[in-house]
Amino acid sequence: RGRYARHAPFSAPYWQGYVVREDILLSLEYHDLTNAQAEALLKSPGPLADIFKEFEQRETDYMDTVFDTVVCRANAVINVARLLGYEEKEKEKEKENRETPEKEKETANRTDPLL
């Protein structure tokens, strides 16, 4: 590890904190604070950091929601793969059905009695 490993910008704690801070800001795009609430937060030199510290102390289902999203996506991919696999098998059956009469014709046209 290098001397900067402790402060690497993409280390897990930094990365996770960055994502949560983005989520805090995003929540403000979808919800409004009262003027009094906004003014109270702006009295702090670091309102985003303050909110993040409070968020870290709370018990939330944030990680459960993240994991649930991972599971749902994985299941969706599996279901699509199954569907595509089923469709591929159906196409193979159709191809075999088309080839079977041609093979029968070839066999019927042969004059060698041992075939």
Cβ atoms of 19 and 11 closer than 8 Å = no
pLDDT confidence tier of residue 108, bands split at 50, 70 and 90:
low
CA 2 to chain centre: 32
Interatomic CA distance for residues 86 and 103, integer angstroms: 25
If DSSP codes are grouped into helix, strand and coil, which group holds residue 38? Answer: helix
Cβ atoms of 19 and 47 closer than 8 Å = no
- Which range among 15-29, 46-60, 73-87, 101-115 shows the weakest confidence by mean pLDDT? 101-115
Please tell me the predicted confidence (pLDDT) of residue 12. 53
- Which range among 36-45, 61-70, 96-105 shows the weakest confidence by mean pLDDT? 96-105
Cβ atoms of 11 and 17 closer than 8 Å = no
